[in-house]
């Protein structure tokens, strides 16, 4: 059986797609899985992260790029040799996203703590539903105990979509490690690593 494909998608930029993609990748590797990253975003943030990691001599996962319509072909190749393929996508929702959704076993939709992110998630979920793919919303840069955090949680909770119980906090370590080609688990045990490990468990359960 081939590997599982996880696509991280959100039409709004700055939602934390790449942060979630790289930290899940590191978490899967640490859990003993072989991982491939596939960057379909022209901005290339995932690729830059991977190259920073590679430059420091860390070669623990595969990496490839693809245009929208090359996603299916590239995924099929990567699935033959890797347990998990993680796709990072451009911050938009249009026909170019469909090829990634078609090959996905799970679509993760990050939502940062703002009402704008809540508005943006609806079109993503609509496209995912049309492709009949399972989705999971992940609250990112979450600020517990704040009114905006409570409002965003309530708004997402009212939607007909699974929401991860794990929330990624508004922690500097996520940005710091991203710029160094690392995941938070590479930095040692912290509240952030506990969040990522918990999210990994939810993703594994969703994949079945």
Whether pLDDT at 178 is above 90: yes
The predicted pLDDT at position 145 comes to 67
Write out pLDDT tens, residues 183-193: 999 998 999 99
Beta-carbon count within 10 A of 1 CB: 5
DSSP states along 142-201? B-TTSHHHHHHHHHHHTSSS-B-S---B--HHHHHHHTTT--GGGG-S-HHHHHHHHHHH
Write out pLDDT tens, residues 90-134: 887 777 788 999 999 999 999 887 677 777 788 888 899 999 999
pTM: 0.93
- Cβ proximity of 137 and 109 under 8 Å: yes
pLDDT band at residue 1 using 50, 70 and 90 as cut-offs: low
Write out pLDDT tens, residues 11-31: 877 788 999 999 999 999 999
Average pLDDT, integer, range 137-155:
78
Please report the domains of the chain, with CATH numbers, ordered by start residue: 4-202 (3.40.50.300)
Whether pLDDT at 86 is above 70: yes
Residue of higher predicted confidence among 163 and 64:
64
């Amino acid at each position: 059986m081939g590997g599982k494909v996880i696509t991280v998608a959100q039409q709004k930029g700055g939602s934390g797609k790449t942060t979630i993609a790289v930290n899940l990748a590191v978490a899967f590797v640490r859990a003993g899985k072989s991982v491939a990253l596939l960057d379909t975003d022209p901005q290339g943030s995932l690729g830059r992260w991977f190259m920073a990691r590679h430059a420091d001599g860390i070669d623990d996962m595969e990496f490839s790029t693809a245009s929208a319509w090359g996603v299916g072909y590239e995924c099929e190749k990567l699935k033959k040799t890797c347990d998990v393929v993680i796709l990072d996508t451009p911050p938009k929702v249009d026909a170019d996203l469909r090829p990634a959704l078609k090959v996905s076993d799970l679509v993760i939709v990050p939502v940062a703590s703002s009402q704008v992110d809540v508005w943006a998630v609806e079109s993503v979920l609509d496209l995912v539903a049309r492709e009949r793919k399972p989705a999971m919303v992940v609250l990112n840069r979450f600020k517990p105990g704040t009114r905006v955090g409570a409002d965003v949680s309530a708004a997402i909770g009212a939607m007909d979509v699974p929401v991860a119980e794990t929330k990624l906090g508004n922690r500097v370590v996520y940005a710091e490690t991203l710029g160094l080609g690392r995941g938070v688990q590479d930095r040692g045990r912290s509240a952030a690593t506990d969040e990522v490990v918990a999210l990994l468990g939810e993703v594994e359960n969703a994949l079945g």
